[in-house]
Amino acid sequence: MLASRPPMGFNTWNTFGDKIDENLIHEAADAMVRLGLKDAGYEYLVIDDCWSEYERDPVTDRIVPHHVKFPNGMKAVADYVHSKGLKFGMYSCDGVRTCADYPGSYDHEFLDAKTFAEWGVDYLKYDNCYHPGSADEPTLYRRMGMALRASGREILFSACNWGSSNVWDWIRSTGAHMYRSTGDIFDNAESYRNIARSQMDKLHASAPGCFNDMDMLTVGMYGRGLVGSQGCNSADYRSQFALWCMFSCPLMLGCDIRTMNEETLKLVTNPELIRIDQDAEARPPIFLQGKDETDRIYAFKFLEDGAYALGVFNLSEEDREYRVLFNDTGLAASACKAFQFTDVMTGENIGIHREHLKVQVPAHDCRVFRTELVDFR
């Protein structure tokens, strides 16, 4: 089954926008292997918008790769990516034009899917700009879902309609393997927090086979690149990455992976965080003590192996001490059980706690724990 776990990879859009070419893709593929990203689970290298000529080929009606950016065509790019043991992703749109005004796949779905399959594409991000008002989104996504299945190649279908038309109600039925459920992310604290908050009551729709996608990560961008407005500090990047993991979202890196700093690399390859994200059951977290608090989130998640994860997120502007109560987790006070906590960022065992956990979290930062029930008398 495709997307039995949240897909992981790298996408060109956040940092590079239309500044993409064959050389960049080669360097990104090399970096994914050299830096250990591939070994950590990042397998899809995805070219976003702006890869084609401005018009289709007048004779064949096919989309044509841009002759300067991709002089050897996309099959050659796919071959290089595959030679590194990675999978190759591309982008199109359900409209007449893509969001950046290149040819879209509207009414060309089956031809384009066949073309992508011939090139060796393994993943298609499918955007939502410039479709006729008369065309409803579920039908357009179904069309591409069917076209991909008819293409003769196994292609992961990454739908991107930004949460419009109540996407949660119908997207699984289109064959999509992941679906963007929010507007575009920008590299600032407000953006990733609003995105995460807006999904807290939507995660029931996300499950193996079709995952809720909160957009490409801005982790490690530090204000550089196309969506690099303001930038975040390292505490924010820890929180963003941990939220995506606690929510079992696809992990698509959007920073310049070739030049990411050590801290970023360590964060995005943290095995315990990735293990939480990739948990086979992908259960939505429970939001302890309510989900309407605006300046903190306590997320508690049941994991496949009987353990649990707890994320404590400080969204305020000051360092805080929190008291997280266990009642909402399901743990009855009379159970003679308690939680043993290990900090997944530091590996530190912070002991056994029966009814609540007192935890210090710096402004904008988070603490994430793996926790197991132990006997307590």
Enzyme catalytic residues: 127, 184
281's CB contacts (< 8 A; 6+ apart) are: 208, 302, 303, 304
**Which is closer to ligand GLA, CB of 27 or CB of 184?**
184
Q: How far is CA 6 from CA 210, 253, 275, 294, in A?
A: 8, 13, 11, 27
Nearer Cβ to ligand GLA (110/162): 162
Residues 52 and 102: beta-carbon distance below 8 Å:
yes
Per-residue tokens: 364:
């904008």
Q: Which stretch binds ligand GLA (CB under 6 A): 72-80, 93-101, 167-175, 193-201?
A: 93-101
| CB 306, min distance to ligand GLA, A | 37
Q: In the chain, how many H helices and how many E strands?
A: 10, 16
List the Cα angle 201/204/207 in 5-degree steps. 140
Choosing from 24, 76, 100, 352, the residue that interacts with ligand GLA (CB under 6 A) is 100
Contact in structure between 203 and 212 (CB atoms under 8 Å): yes
The mark string for 123-142 relative to ligand GLA (x by CB under 6 A, - otherwise) is ----x---------------
Residues facing residue 136 across a β-bridge: none
Any idea what the Cα angle at residue 354 is, between residues 349 and 356, rounded to 5°?
85
Nearer to ligand GLA, 43 or 49 (CB): 49
Could you tell me how many residues of this chain bind ligand GLA (CB under 6 A)? Answer: 10
CB of 249 to ligand GLA, least distance (A): 14
Query: Between 92 and 371, whose beta carbon lies closer to ligand GLA?
Result: 92
- Please calculate the CA angle 296-300-305 and round it to the nearest 5 degrees: 155
What distances in angstroms separate CA 125 from CA 166, 179, 183, 338, 352, one per listed residue?
Answer: 19, 9, 15, 44, 45
Of 189-248, binders to ligand GLA (CB under 6 A) are none
In whole angstroms, how close is the CB of 89 to ligand GLA at the nearest point?
12
Binding mask 33-52 for ligand GLA (x = CB under 6 A): ---------------xx---
Q: Which of 6, 8, 13, 80 binds ligand GLA (CB under 6 A)?
A: 13
184 binds ligand GLA (CB under 6 A): yes
> Which of 29, 160, 195, 249 is the binder for ligand GLA (CB under 6 A)?
160
d(CA 198, CA 209): 22
Give the nearest distance from C-beta 187 to ligand GLA in angstroms. 13
Q: Which residues bind ligand GLA (CB under 6 A)?
A: 13, 48-49, 98-100, 127, 160, 162, 184
